Chains A and B, each alone.
Chain A
Amino acid sequence: MPGIPNQPWLDALEESELERILERLRVLREGVSRLRAAASSEEPLPASELEQGR
């Protein structure tokens, strides 16, 4: 898959499991691309900034 480094453990998976994982990854990354577009001027929000309502 484009953008995903080859990892040896991927080759050992059954084809059906690999297909399911890659499909879920594709859906997730589509969503992330919308996040990029929506937050292009933002800095990351570390969870510590949410601590106790800060």
Chain B
Amino acid sequence: MSPVDVAFASIGAVRELLARRELSALELTRIQLERAESIAGLNAFISILAGSALEEARRCDERMKEGASLGRLHGVPVTAKDIVWSKGERTTSGSRIAFDFVPDRDAPALARLRAEGAILLGKTNLHEFAYGVSNVNPHYGAARNPWKKDCISGGSSGGSAVALAAGVGYGSIGTDTGGSIRIPSSLCGTVGLKPTYGAIPRDGVTPLSWSLDHVGPMARRVEDVALLFEIMSGTKIDIRGSSGSLPLRGTRIGIHERHFFENLSPEVNESARGAISRMEQLGAEPVALDVPEIELQAACRNAIAFAEASSYHEENIKNRAQDYGEDTRELLRLGLLIPATDYIAALRARRRIVRAFRKAFLAIDVLVTPATPAAAPPIGTSQLENGDELRFGLIRLVGPFNAIGFPAVALPCGMSRDGRPLGLQIASSPGCEAELLRVALAFQESQSSSDWSRLRPAV
């Protein structure tokens, strides 16, 4: 296997290489660190942890030589968004405010990966304090899309998606408050899971909005995301369904035309509907769905997110406003003006919205939608090609699942004619990650011979 093939391999494939001693953890980590350095222009990383990563790799190799029992990620390099606390390593949250914050412990999500033998390669770039969707960071530079370098990566977990798309790291820890795992996964052609609210501990992750924050895994392939989810959540899931030509036989896939299929770019519309047709060919049964309460979720989510974010940042936004980037500063100031009664009104509406979706999801196994209404736009633009304002548009299709706490995964479903990834979203009822990942895996495997799925970005 060439170094590039090794870089883009699945977790399962690199574990086999390591187990067969065809590659040591040290060699693999060196390949990955060289690759991380080679993509410096993409601004995927805030910190590359070369010294500690090499040391961890040496220890992994020693344990293998000793014949010790090995974890499920033994010697596998991963990354983490730089809002996830890492013991003894600077965790900036993409900000000037927390420029020199060094946590005294790992976040449980990271600790669980390390306990299985994962090697932390570096901390990835993000939108400042995860409070935005472009990942144009005023302090650490814009994370650039590997498929088209003048385009945004999407955010806020943009650096994680950029690194994965460029073949750096075999998984990453992201966070998602209004789509921040799924947006960059969609725009960069990777896979990202926002699990059920609370399924992975939020402890040790600098908060944006406690009621909407989710921690989740990102990777290049569905099966890798599933493995990382198992480890990070401490649960066991089985995503292998029936084999044969109809792996989705009997699976009810919900199609929600209102909201989720309105005002899409033609290419997104075509690829998402094409994905649904493919799932039908695999045996799935489409079910039309309509939840009118979808119209309430944006105001509900915004009132909660703006108020909670400003509560967390209250002291700093009043005393160190100049240390925030312009867009973050403005949102934090806005949040200071939201009356408590509006916040409570949003929490009351949230109950109605969740109840409506829980009832609707009884008729389906998964809901299938596009992940973003358009492909990645150029850096600096304020509008998507479907006409949506950038922030509104990128959150529109993914944000509802933060409001209701249901799990949702984004994965690639095609390419625009000029070579930008297009993303699909699959959501399910709370606690049903195995179901949505089973459908995602079946779809991914059905695309393995498509032209677009074999492409790699030229970095």
Contacts and interface: CB of A to CB of B under 8 A. Distances in A.
A53 B300 contact: no
B425 interface: no
B333 A53 contact: no
A31 B403 CA distance: 15
Interface string B346-379: 1111111010000000000000000000000000
Contact of A25 (B210, B293, B338, B349): B338
B24 to A, nearest CB: 39
Contact of A44 (B296, B330, B347): B347
Interface string A24-48: 1100110110111011001111110
Q: Is the interface of A mostly helix, strand, loop or mixed?
A: helix
Interface string B391-410: 00000000000001100000
A17 interface: yes
B302 A28 contact: yes
Contact of A42 (B303, B334, B352): B352
B344 interface: yes
A21 B337 contact: yes
Contacts of B303: 28, 31-32, 35
Contacts of B404: 50
Contacts of B431: 52-53
Q: Is the interface of B mostly helix, strand, loop or mixed?
A: helix
Contacts of A20: 330
A29 B405 contact: no
Interface residues of B, number: 41
Interface string B429-455: 111100000000000000000000000
A9 B210 contact: no
A45 B354 contact: yes
Nearest to A3: B339
Contacts of A31: 298-299, 302-303
Given A44-B351, A47-B211, A50-B354, A35 B296 contact: yes
A39 B350 CA distance: 8
A37 to B, nearest CB: 9
B198 interface: yes
Contacts of B39: none
A9 B314 CA distance: 12
B348 A39 contact: yes
A35 to B, nearest CB: 4
Nearest to B319: A9
Contacts of B348: 35-36, 39, 42-45
A54 B298 CA distance: 23
B412 to A, nearest CB: 27
A28 to B, nearest CB: 6
Contacts of A28: 299, 302-303, 306, 334, 338, 342
Contacts of B342: 28-29, 32
A21 B299 contact: no
Nearest to B429: A53
Contact of A50 (B298, B333, B405): B405
Interface string B299-313: 110110010000000
B450 to A, nearest CB: 34
Contacts of B321: 9
B360 to A, nearest CB: 16
Interface of A: 1, 3-4, 7, 9, 13, 17, 20-21, 24-25, 28-29, 31-32, 34-36, 38-39, 42-47, 50-54
20 contacts: A4-B337, A9-B321, A17-B333, A25-B337, A28-B302, A28-B334, A32-B303, A32-B346, A34-B299, A35-B348, A35-B349, A39-B348, A43-B351, A44-B344, A44-B350, A45-B347, A46-B347, A47-B211, A47-B405, A52-B196
Given A38-B296, A44-B350, 15 more contacts: A7-B337, A9-B321, A21-B333, A21-B337, A24-B334, A31-B298, A32-B303, A32-B345, A39-B296, A39-B351, A39-B352, A44-B351, A47-B211, A53-B429, A53-B432
